């Protein structure tokens, strides 16, 4: 049952990315081009996502278990630290350079867009580097 709901959730998310244009790097870069011919349509997509997500998170905070019985695992960190700032900077720079963020890049892999494959490869490389640095940090702390 969990696998089915995971599949359905992913399909709905992916279809939403396609319909909204979020998987089109040209449209995304047009949204980020504030000094040129700015395309504000993605602001409406993001605003709609916030409107849908806000009540869902409000309800989720009051639950101990998810609808399928798993333990709720919502973020608890509230502070702004160096890691958050650097991660946000890397995310924003990647989005601005490539016109992709992780979800739309994965959707665009199916369209065989070369830039999506390059972005996804760079994203995976970044994840591996992060994991290696985290392991090294944990080993130093444990010693």
Q: Does residue 92 carry a pLDDT above 90?
A: no
Full residue range of the structural domain in which residue 116 is found: 2-142
Q: How many of the other CB atoms lie within 10 Å of CB of 20?
A: 18
Higher pLDDT, 132 or 100: 132
Annotate 104-132 with b (16+ C-beta within 10 A) or e (fewer).
bbbbbeeeebeebeebbeebeeeeeeeee
Give Cα 122 distance to the centre of its chain. Answer: 15
Cα distance between residue 112 and residue 42, in whole Å: 23
Q: pLDDT tens for residues 67-88?
A: 788 888 888 888 999 988 998 9
Q: pLDDT tens for residues 94-111?
A: 888 888 888 888 888 888
Q: Does residue 35 carry a pLDDT above 90?
A: no
Q: Assess contact for 21 and 41: CB atoms under 8 A.
A: yes
Query: Average pLDDT of 53-75?
Result: 86
Q: Does residue 123 carry a pLDDT above 80?
A: yes
Q: Does residue 128 carry a pLDDT above 90?
A: yes
The total number of structural domains in the chain stands at 1
pLDDT for 124 equals 93
Across the chain, mean pLDDT equals: 88
Q: What is the CA radius of gyration of the chain?
A: 18
CB within 8 Å of 90: residues ≥ 6 apart: 126
pLDDT for 3 equals 87
**Locus of tokens 């946000």:** 88
**Locus of tokens 């940090």:** 137
Per-residue pLDDT band for 54 (boundaries 50, 70, 90) equals very high
């Amino acid at each position: 049952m969990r696998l089915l709901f995971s599949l359905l959730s992913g399909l709905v998310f992916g279809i939403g990315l396609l319909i909204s244009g979020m998987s089109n790097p040209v449209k995304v870069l047009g949204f980020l081009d504030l000094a040129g011919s700015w395309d504000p349509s993605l602001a409406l997509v993001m605003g709609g996502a916030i409107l849908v997500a806000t009540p869902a998170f409000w309800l989720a905070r009051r639950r101990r278990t998810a609808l399928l019985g798993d333990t709720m695992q919502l973020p608890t960190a509230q502070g702004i630290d160096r890691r958050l700032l650097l991660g946000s900077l890397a995310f924003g720079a990647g989005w601005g350079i490539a016109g992709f963020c992780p979800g739309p890049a994965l959707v665009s892999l199916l369209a065989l867009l070369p830039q999506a494959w390059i972005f996804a490869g760079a994203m995976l490389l970044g994840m591996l580097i992060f994991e290696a640095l985290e392991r090294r940090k944990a080993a130093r702390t444990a010693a």
